[in-house]
Amino acid sequence: MNEIRENIQQEQNKPLFIVSDFHGVYDAIELVEDKLNKKNRRVVILGDCMDRGNEGIRLLSRIKELIENGESLTYIPGNHDDVLYTKFKRFIEVYRNNKDDITEEMVSIVKPFAKSLNFDGLAKANGQTATYDEIIEMVSTPEGLKKFFELMIWLGEQPLLKIETDCDGRKIAMGHASFDMDLYEMDEPLTLRSKQMIERRYEELKSSNPESEAFETIKRKREKAFACLWYRNPDDVNRMNLNNIVRLPDESEADVIVVGHTPKQEEVEIIGENLTREAVCVDGGTVECYLSGEGEMLKFEPYRESLPSKTMVTSFVLVGKKGAYERLGLMDEYKKSDEELEEDDSDMRIYNPPKKNQDQGDDFGDI
């Protein structure tokens, strides 16, 4: 027991490094591994490794491998992960119940299904076809299909909300798009799989007993689960109005809220049913995005031809270190040496993707 307690304490003493929305860019994992290995930090990725870039499945597989190897890494799925999991949920459950039954016949069913997903207009608009192309190649053999299902089962079991204590003792509440204290306190932690079970129960009661109290309860839970993965308020760039949807943690439950999902580089005011809190947003528009003349970070949408050339940016907040303290106006409490402050200045990285037909090099540099 003392050994377990000591290991937990050692983990909490590591600075917490939070990133999000790598969207199929495998090179971004090098930044994560650098923080794990050289900087000895805990890393949390707030989802959306899928789509837009060409290596979302490879990227997610590497994250799974790092976690299973005992690295101080947590993956919190995002809405793009949710879409992928939902598309294949029937096959995933069949495999879960009979893991030995992976045959050429199953390949002949799953592979055409994956191909059919590429014809969906919304999938093309959201850059999902890049991920489906990866999957089509992966599931072409029984061995590859098994590997894909194991990856999806792992993905479905990851928490959608998490609170961690930083090395400075602050409690950090994290989710992809928002954080809901009620969902976090569920007896069964909310995951992609349990979210699917909520969805299934909702549909059952909607058709059988829509006037019941049980239906109202599951409807409310469904709305909250949706908000944690998907919520974005397009009408106001400075706030997210989650009134009557989520119960935000108060100051005794969490000191800082960190989310991804929406490319911003400033705090976002979140209005919840019980209070208003500030959240730090760490989606820098990792893939196929650009910096406008004003320096605002936006995602590049490949189906809009009028946008300028691509620049990929990896953005994050390092909670408990200079970046987060500076953003939250807490620099007076930051008691580190000048050398450490200087080191943190290099933690914002820019990556210029190579042109087509050029070698894939490591183009990370400091800004």
Say what the pLDDT of residue 281 is: 78
CB-based contact 174:259 (threshold 8 Å): yes
Predicted local distance difference test score (pLDDT) of residue 141: 94
Work out the burial of residue 234: count CB atoms within 10 Å of its CB; fewer than 13 is exposed, 13-18 middle, 19 or more buried: exposed
Site of tokens 């879409």 = 83
pLDDT band at 215 (very low <50, low <70, confident <90, very high): very high
Q: Produce one character per residue of 146-185: b if its CB has 16 or more CB atoms within 10 Å, e if not.
A: bbbbbbbbbbbebbbbbbbbbbbebebbbbbbbbbbbbbe
Q: Where are the beta strands (DSSP E) in the chain?
A: 16-19, 42-45, 73-75, 161-165, 171-175, 239-241, 256-263, 267-271, 276-283, 289-291, 297-299, 312-314, 316-319, 349-351, 364-366
What is the pTM for the complete model shown? 0.79
Strands 316-319 and 312-314 turn out to be: unpaired
| Parallel, antiparallel or unpaired: strands 316-319 and 349-351 | unpaired
Asked if residue 121 has pLDDT above 90, the reply is no
Q: Is the pLDDT of residue 216 over 90?
A: yes
Most trustworthy range by pLDDT among 19-28, 282-291, 327-336: 19-28
Ordered DSSP codes for 333-347: G----HHHHHHHGGG
* % of residues, the chain, pLDDT over 70: 71
Top pLDDT among 61 and 290 is at 61
Look over the chain and give the mean of its residue pLDDT values, rounded to a whole number: 76
**pLDDT(317) > 80:** no
* The two structure tokens encoding residue 310: 């691509």
Please state, as a whole number, how many other Cβ atoms lie within 10 Å of the Cβ of residue 249. Answer: 25
Residue 349's contacts (CB-CB under 8 Å, 6 or more residues apart) are 31, 313, 314, 364, 365, 366, 367
Closest by CA position to 132, among listed 95, 83, 96, 89: 83
Which of 71-75, 225-229, 268-272, 285-289 comes out lowest in average pLDDT?
285-289
Q: Is the pLDDT reported for residue 125 higher than 80?
A: no
Please check whether residue 84 is in contact with residue 58, taking contact to mean a CB–CB distance below 8 angstroms: no
Choice between 349 and 323, residue whose per-residue pLDDT is larger: 323
**Most confident residue range from 6-15, 21-30, 65-74:** 65-74
The residue ranking higher by pLDDT, 317 or 137, is 137
Query: What is the model's pLDDT at position 283?
Result: 75
Is residue 211 scored above 60 in pLDDT?
A: yes
Q: According to the model, what pLDDT value does residue 266 have?
A: 59
Number of H helices and E strands in the chain, helices first, is 14, 15
Q: What's the burial of 314, exposed, middle or buried (CB within 10 Å: 0-12/13-18/19+)?
A: buried
Give the per-residue pLDDT at 306: 36
Q: CA distances (Å), 179 to each of 159, 194, 203, 219, 257, in order? A: 12, 17, 24, 18, 7
Q: Where are the domains of the chain?
A: 2-168+278-366
Residue 301 has pLDDT above 80, yes or no: no
**Residues whose CB is less than 8 angstroms from the CB of residue 323 and which lie 6 or more positions away in sequence, other chains included:** 316, 317, 344, 347, 348
